Structure 1
Amino acid sequence: MGKKKSKPAPLPQSLALPYTGVESHAHLDLPPFSSDIEEVLKRAKESGVRYICNVFLGHEAWKNNRHLFEQHDEVFFILGTHPSHVDQCTDAELGAMRAAFAEDSRLRGIGEIGLDYYWDHFPRENQKDIFIKQLHLAKELNTRVIIHSRDAAEDTIDVLETEGFVDYPVLWHCFGGDAELAERIVKNGWYLSIPGTVTYPKNEEAREALKVIPLDRMLIETDCPYLTPVPYRGKRNEPAYTVFTAECVAKELGIDTEELWTTCGNNAIRFFGL
């Protein structure tokens, strides 16, 4: 007998979710999307994604690539210097970011910013210095903060608390920690965004953490083209695949997928002021 063929993965549109979802963190201006961005945006809409947050990693990325979304009002932006690129965050860059926010109403927050001790490309004190400078700019602009923290949760929280960001509109992007970390983030009045890694069979810790996150603080994201959820794990990620993350989270929490989808979408609309 021949080898049994595996069933093809379901299309994201097949979940038939309402047009109420929000993809809270995507990198659609990166090269993996250069050949089919229009099709990617179309699939997202067909799958129930109402808004998409595109993350520009620096002022030059915003200046050179925002034209990609001129015909797509559903895409809004955040802008910041990632901790792996802190050498690029000069005073001139901060000034250019400040000017960009004055010019572009689609910019809704500073991010992703924070600390990355996994890659550790730059000394930790340098990372903290640039993190703090961007936090100060966020307060100056009265805008939201979107956090990148990898293997650096304690120091990230310490900086945010020390700099006066308790009960400030902060979103912890790509949350993958345990219940204790989730509780600390929630206690400080911040939001958490859940990526596709929560669908991975061995990621029981992240699924357990879902149970201590209030539903009104939870968002959904892809971080595409990275961190693709099951059943498309191993392929390029895209905003439409947020539906599979929502399905997994809803199942874990014992609620209807449509309810979870719409609630997380409304949370994102409230957080980003859409």
Structure 2
Amino acid sequence: MTSLVDTHCHLDPGYFPDSGQAAIARAQAAGVAGFVVVGVGADLAPARHAVELARARPAYVAAAVGIHPHDATSLNAASFDELSSLSRDPSVVAVGEIGLDYHYDHSPREVQRAAFARLIGLAREVQKPIVIHTREAAHDTLAILEAEGARDVGGVIHCFSEDRNFAARALDMGFYLSFSGILTFKGAKSVHDVAAWAPEDRILVETDSPYLAPVPLRGKSCEPAYVIHTAQRLAELRNVHIARIAEATSANAARAFRRSFAAPSRAGGAGS
């Protein structure tokens, strides 16, 4: 049985006091063989932590570093220079998460758009894919991706929550669609539709831990072990066995991030 890859999790000490060590162990026991640890926050401490964790466990942990749209106002010359340096580290497989969030507007929209464009430029410079956060900003997200040449690097639409039209345009630019615990929510009809329809070679699974715990664990702090529930729901929507989802999404993760995740699970496997 092929194990799963959690393609988006936050494991910095602000969420996991032991820097995610126990959460990684629990996930491996549940059949998760790979982790893309995303480092974003009010400063670059989470990015540094993600890189350190990936360096310490290179066989099965990779890092992504970026500036979340909530924190777009923190992007200045110094932070850009450090992020540029971090993004070149061999343990870093993507620039992200970056994008737009018009739900909370923690940073002014014009600042978000400028930061987003600049960070796509960084990804093109270092030739690494991007991890996209978009919330209530579908039109502007797609427009900036297209205008800034994001198809040159591709990447992942993280925590997919849009509709089939958005998905089709993202797929056309070479992006993968990553499904989180939202897929298990009863009311997420448009996400269900896309998950059932999307090409098998362009789908991924993630937790976005510590957020968005899936059914039947809603209300709890999420962690990478819970990705199995999203994978099971994806299998149901596509009317296939979870083994096929595990195999496909793991192969897709390797292509999307241009590296393999080789560590075996510690006990059992996905769906065992």
Instruction: Please tell me whether residue 250 in structure 1 is matched to residue 250 in structure 2.
Output: no
1:228-267, aligned counterparts within 5 Å? 228-267=213-252
Instruction: Please tell me whether residue 101 in structure 1 is matched to residue 87 in structure 2.
Output: yes
1:187-226, aligned counterparts within 5 Å? 187-226=172-211
1:1-274, aligned counterparts within 5 Å? 18-35=1-18, 37-57=20-40, 59-64=44-49, 66-68=51-53, 71-73=56-58, 74-102=60-88, 104-166=89-151, 168-274=153-259
CA distance in 1, matches of 2:152, 2:124: 13
Aligned residue in 2 for 1:14: none
* C-alpha distance 30-153 of structure 1, shift in aligned 2 (>3 A): farther
CA contact 1:82–1:114 (8 Å) conserved in 2: yes
Residue by residue over 1:138-179, the C-alpha shift from the partner in whole angstroms, topping out at 9 and shown as x without a partner, is: 111111111010100110000011112236322110001122
* Alpha-carbon RMSD: 1.7
Which sits farther off after the overlay, 53-62 or 112-121? 53-62
Q: Deviation at 1:70?
A: 5.2
Stretches of structure 1 that go unaligned for 5 or more consecutive residues are 1-17
Q: How many residues are aligned here?
A: 256
Which sits farther off after the overlay, 163-172 or 215-224? 163-172
* C-alpha distance 49-65 of structure 1, shift in aligned 2 (>3 A): closer
Which sits farther off after the overlay, 64-73 or 222-231? 64-73
CA contact 1:20–1:266 (8 Å) conserved in 2: no
Q: Deviation at 1:107?
A: 0.6
Aligned residue in 1 for 2:269: none
Residue by residue over 1:44-82, the C-alpha shift from the partner in whole angstroms, topping out at 9 and shown as x without a partner, is: 111221110111115332335644555433111000000
Residue by residue over 1:86-110, the C-alpha shift from the partner in whole angstroms, topping out at 9 and shown as x without a partner, is: 11111111111122233x2111110
CA distance in 1, matches of 2:55, 2:125: 27
| Structure with greater Cα Rg | 1
The percentage of aligned residue pairs carrying the same residue is: 34
CA distance in 2, matches of 1:164, 1:83: 19
Q: TM-score, normalised by structure 2?
A: 0.89
Which sits farther off after the overlay, 50-59 or 179-188? 179-188
Q: Deviation at 1:180?
A: 2.2
Residue by residue over 1:97-147, the C-alpha shift from the partner in whole angstroms, topping out at 9 and shown as x without a partner, is: 122233x21111100001110011222111111111111111111111110
**What amino acid does structure 2 have at the position aligned with 1:83?**
P
CA distance in 2, matches of 1:36, 1:107: 18
Q: TM-score, normalised by structure 1?
A: 0.88
For the residue of structure 2 that corresponds to 1:166, the secondary structure is helix
* C-alpha distance 182-64 of structure 1, shift in aligned 2 (>3 A): closer
For the residue of structure 2 that corresponds to 1:264, the secondary structure is helix
